[in-house]
Structure 1
Amino acid sequence: MKLSNDTAKAVPTKQFFVSMLTRDISLDDAILDLIDNCLDGAMRLANGGDVDYGKHHVKIKLSKDLFSIEDNCGGIPREVAINYAFKMGRDADDKRDADTETIGMYGVGMKRALFKMGTDALVKTRHGEDTFEVHIDSNWLSDKEWRELPIKVPSKAAEMLDYPGTSIVVKDLYPGVAKHFANAAFINDVETAISHHFTMFLQRGLRIELNGRSVKPVRVEVLVSRRKDGPAPYVYQKTIDGVLVSITVGLNTSRQYEGDSDHDEVGDFAGQRNSATAGWTVLCNDRAVIVGDKSRLTGWGDGIPLYHDQFIVITGIIEFRAKDAKKLPVTTTKRALDTSSDVWLESLVKMKEGMRVWISYTNQWKNHPREDQSVYWSDAKPMSLSQAIEAVSPRATKRRGSVALEFDPRKMKGVLPEPKESAPSGRRIVFSRPAEEVRLVSKMLFDDANEKPGIVGDKCFEIQLVKASRVER
């Protein structure tokens, strides 16, 4: 019997591929992926220069009947649409965005988002004067073959886009997706996720609308005095394997969202602190992967104390920047960290070092009135990571033989204020109130009904103490 040489099929079935591709991404992450694509378009439009985000917008609509997103970020070039944009994955020799600090790595973001939502998606784009559309419908999804998608010119002039950009409409939503898109709580969650993940772009002028409402950026800042002997945060900056790592750890402010003017300066040092941004915020190429993490993920409880109420004043910010997105310590969802990466593990050592500065500081001031610090901090301003590094760098040191820049406020005499007297004796106050009452007061004080009861009680006492002190004076 003569044996013949045959071949074995080694391609994934379309049903398996689509199912597995969407299984591990949440619905809100899918929406963020599509916004990421808009930003990538704006960066390509700038052709390596600085992007004027004030000229760009992204408009999103969620309803039980459809999802839509449109932008004015330059659109998709026809060549890119033909060869790359609708391909399921990125080829190893695809060098697009080699000089752009994007965060996409595998070329699945847009497709995964569309497949997650429904079975009918229309992608319409205009690049320059060239307008075309690509339709992905249920027939294509159910077809076993990986047939190429037709690229068509809209048949009616009214269907042309008015400006270079992209519009995506998804219909025939899956039942669970339709329920989420009609749920006000889910829409609020998406708004919060956008305000966190794209805070840096929003602060630079990008306009993102969700169901007609502009999204405000969350403010993640530390207090910095520009005085040579004034209080300043811990700062560290170094390039590790092609990734620029920037770290700052310091005291936070009470300002949370853009436009919060009541606490733009330290002023009332005993004022409300922003627990939402206490802990660690991690940025990758300007995207906030996590905001206000207080777990072992970012070092809490690993060689330093676990996070607790005393540390509500501490905020750490770390940013990773690289033109090769594969070097960033982030997963494909773009909102989870790859904590096994070498760049993350090396950076974590410095993150903990910065945390120890301020853990020691809060230990020193435990049981001392915060007002005792207010004079020393009176000229400190809330600053973002880049602003803090720029302000502190004249005081920082560069290690011999190293490109690292570092400023440790403990090593410069007088930078951190110390209590003048021993701590007054403390008394423990313990009382109980109904859970719903605690939630109600928490919502009023922190705009968060789920703040810890201990923090709510401490804040209530603090408010009354300030009033009592004014009466006493």
Structure 2
Amino acid sequence: MKDGLFVQQLQDRIARTYTFFLGRVVDIFLNGSPVPGEPFEIGANYTSEKFKSGEVTCNVTAGIAATAGETFRDRNAGWFVFCNGRAVFFGDKTSLTGWGVTLPIFQPKHRPFLGTVFFVSANPEALPWTTTKASVNEDSTVWQEAKRRMTTVGRVVITFLDRRYTDDGTEVASADVQSASGAKVSVLKAAASEQRAFKPPTKPAPKEMRIQYSAKIADIKKIATYLRKPNMGGSEVGRYTFNYFLKNEVGEDE
């Protein structure tokens, strides 16, 4: 095959769909070269739940992607859904996995988010995938139960990430997100773990607060005149009187 774009797209599709099989169970060659899987890992701070529906066992995990630096790749963000190890969704950020429906619309601030769903069954017909094995059967009861749990499991992580940008500005720095992720863990190990919960870092107590009160303009002007600064505004007078009281009545810490 000589069409470079087609070859690259095919390689990406193979690498994602069979990421857990390539190099372990099977080798696939494209134009004579082996196709490597596309690995991705999660931080050790994650939420994990399991449930069973009929012949299908399911694990839902959500946390923060493990990364070598402070940059989180959009390619490795979103929901990753597998049926017996084969990927049906890889980094999905659409309404099919709840984004914009039961979860917020996916935004750049959510790039650290990584969620996995593993369906396992000895009976492939019981799995919630389509006949093409390239998507999910949205009418499947096990898929509907999984989506409900994806919302519950994912919300805590997303709420933490939403704190990065608030009306008061950025509250969570990229380095803090990486720290909250924890040590790098295989997503397979995370899926096999016991039920656990993501623990958002404790938000530091604010060191400052705004003081606001009303005063008569005449009184403010009296103070400004007394200080021989007739052009002082209300906020300046307030700051001066606060500092004066703190220093002379309370006593400032050294």
TM-score normalized by the length of structure 2: 0.73
Spell out, residue by residue over 1:267-303, the C-alpha distance to the aligned partner (whole angstroms, 9 max, x if none): x4xx221211211111011100110100000001113
Spell out, residue by residue over 1:107-152, the C-alpha distance to the aligned partner (whole angstroms, 9 max, x if none): xxxxxxxxxxxxxxxxxxxxxxxxxxxxxxxxxxxxxxxxxxxxxx
Q: Which residue matches 2:9?
A: 189
Q: Which residue matches 2:243?
A: none
8 Å Cα contact 1:223/1:233 also seen in 2:
yes
**Structure 1 CA distance, aligned partners of 2:37 and 2:103?**
31
Q: Which residue matches 1:388?
A: 190
Deviation of 1:205 after TM superposition, in Å, equals: 5.4
Q: Could you tell me which of 408, 415, 420 is aligned with 2:197? A: 408
Q: Could you say which structure has the larger radius of gyration?
A: 2
Q: Which residue matches 2:202?
A: 418
**Structure 2 CA distance, aligned partners of 1:319 and 1:350?**
12
Q: Which residue matches 2:119?
A: 320
Q: Could you tell me which of 292, 296, 312 is aligned with 2:95? A: 296
Q: Could you tell me which of 39, 42, 47 is aligned with 1:222? A: 42
**Structure 2 CA distance, aligned partners of 1:283 and 1:301?**
22
Q: Which residue matches 1:202?
A: 22
Deviation of 1:376 after TM superposition, in Å, equals: 5.7
**Structure 2 CA distance, aligned partners of 1:305 and 1:363?**
10
One-letter code aligned to 1:417: P
Matched residue SS, 1:355: helix
Q: Which residue matches 1:213?
A: 33
| Residues 236-385 of structure 1 aligned to structure 2 (within 5 Å) | 236-254=49-67, 263=68, 268=69, 271-366=70-165, 367=170, 368-372=172-176, 377=181, 380-384=183-187
Deviation of 1:423 after TM superposition, in Å, equals: 11
Distance 1:359 1:422, change over 3 A: farther
8 Å Cα contact 2:157/2:200 also seen in 1:
no
One-letter code aligned to 1:388: A
Spell out, residue by residue over 1:221-253, the C-alpha distance to the aligned partner (whole angstroms, 9 max, x if none): 2111xxxxxxx2110111111101111111013
Matched residue SS, 1:360: helix
Equivalent residue pairs, number:
203
Question: Bigger relative contact order, structure 1 or 2, given CA contacts below 8 A and separation 6+?
Answer: 2
Runs ≥4 residues deviating over 4 A:
373-377, 421-424
Distance 1:286 1:389, change over 3 A: closer
Distance 1:363 1:243, change over 3 A: same
Deviation of 1:361 after TM superposition, in Å, equals: 0.9
TM-score normalized by the length of structure 1: 0.41
Spell out, residue by residue over 1:42-71, the C-alpha distance to the aligned partner (whole angstroms, 9 max, x if none): xxxxxxxxxxxxxxxxxxxxx4xxxxxxxx
Distance 1:234 1:213, change over 3 A: same
Deviation of 1:360 after TM superposition, in Å, equals: 1.0
Matched residue SS, 1:297: helix
Distance 1:218 1:423, change over 3 A: farther
